[in-house]
């Protein structure tokens, strides 16, 4: 279980907060809109009505007790950037921020945020899944009940081959591609290829099986 602060309860922020809460994570929401906060209050760990760009509000809410802050406000770029700067100054361990456009994205990159989300590309549910699984780089719902993810390999795979791991039997997933760090994608990996620490794999399987494997450390 992880813990997240979600700032901004537009449609994207609401869906993200609910998705994280339903996955069993602790979620703190902060927004000036009391109706939006109250609508989600029973579904999340903690709900605060207040100005998220106020350091007093942030400290009173205990944001530094959480693992990750997600800045979902994007329509007001000034508030988005101000909140990001405040969170950095407070020492927030991990910050994810929505970007409105490429210029906004470059500013957030200069500020050193850990992840930048474009709502048009990153749905709230997808972002929630990726934030809940540290190993996952990309996720795609293949069809109802099945998922494809691109992920960093678990440490237990290092030095072993696909043949030794026997993932189809043991984990009920199929490896459909392997990529070494900085190298091309291999869509037909040899069963005797030895995994290295920085390898990336793409796997497909039922949601529950992929989720279990993506959560391994």
Where is the domain boundary, 132, 165, 190? 132
Pair (147, 113) in one structural domain: no
Give the per-residue pLDDT at 137: 81
Residue 163 sits in a domain whose CATH number is: 3.30.70.1450
Confirm if 160 and 195 have CB atoms less than 8 A apart. Answer: yes
Give the per-residue pLDDT at 142: 62
- In this prediction the pTM is 0.70
Pair (163, 111) in one structural domain: no
Helix (H) / strand (E) containing 128 = helix 124-132
* Residue 130 in this model has a pLDDT that exceeds 90: no
15 confidence band (pLDDT: 50, 70, 90):
very high
Q: Residue 92 sits in which domain range?
A: 3-132
* Residue 123 in this model has a pLDDT that exceeds 90: no
Q: How many domains does the chain have?
A: 2
Distance CA 71, CA 81 (A): 9
Nearest to 179 by CA among 154, 159, 153: 153
Whats the size of the chain, residue-wise?
217
Q: What is the pLDDT of residues 83-115, one digit of tens each?
A: 999 999 999 999 999 988 888 888 898 888 999
Where is the domain boundary, 132, 162, 190? 132
Per-residue CA distances from 128 to 66, 113, 191 (Å): 15, 17, 33
Distance CA 56, CA 61 (A): 9
Pair (115, 143) in one structural domain: no
Per-residue CA distances from 145 to 19, 138, 140 (Å): 16, 17, 11
Where is the domain boundary, 132, 152, 184? 132
Residue 98 sits in a domain whose CATH number is: 3.40.50.720
Pair (39, 88) in one structural domain: yes
Pair (114, 190) in one structural domain: no
Q: How many CB atoms lie within 10 A of CB 46?
A: 16
Pair (24, 102) in one structural domain: yes
Pair (162, 124) in one structural domain: no
Pair (163, 113) in one structural domain: no
Pair (119, 148) in one structural domain: no
211 confidence band (pLDDT: 50, 70, 90):
confident
119 confidence band (pLDDT: 50, 70, 90):
low
């Amino acid at each position: 279980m992880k813990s997240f602060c979600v700032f901004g309860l537009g449609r994207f922020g609401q869906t993200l907060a609910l998705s994280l809460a339903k996955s069993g994570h602790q979620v703190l929401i902060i927004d000036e809109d009391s109706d939006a906060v109250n609508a989600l209050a029973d579904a999340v760990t903690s709900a605060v009505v207040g100005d998220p760009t106020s350091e007093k509000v942030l400290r009173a809410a205990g944001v530094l007790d959480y693992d990750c802050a997600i800045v979902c406000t994007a329509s007001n770029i000034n508030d988005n950037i101000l909140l990001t700067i405040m969170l950095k100054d407070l020492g927030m361990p991990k910050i994810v921020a929505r970007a409105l456009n490429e210029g906004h994205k470059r500013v957030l990159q200069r500020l050193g945020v850990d992840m930048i989300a474009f709502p048009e590309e990153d749905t709230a549910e997808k972002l929630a899944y990726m934030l809940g699984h540290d190993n996952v780089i990309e996720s795609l719902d293949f069809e109802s009940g099945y998922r494809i993810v691109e992920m960093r390999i678990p440490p237990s795979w290092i030095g072993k081959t696909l043949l030794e791991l026997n993932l189809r039997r043991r984990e009920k997933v199929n490896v459909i591609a392997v990529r070494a760090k900085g190298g091309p994608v291999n869509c037909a990996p040899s069963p005797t290829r030895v995994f290295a620490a920085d390898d990336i794999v793409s796997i497909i399987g039922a949601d529950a099986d992929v989720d279990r494997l993506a959560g391994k450390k």
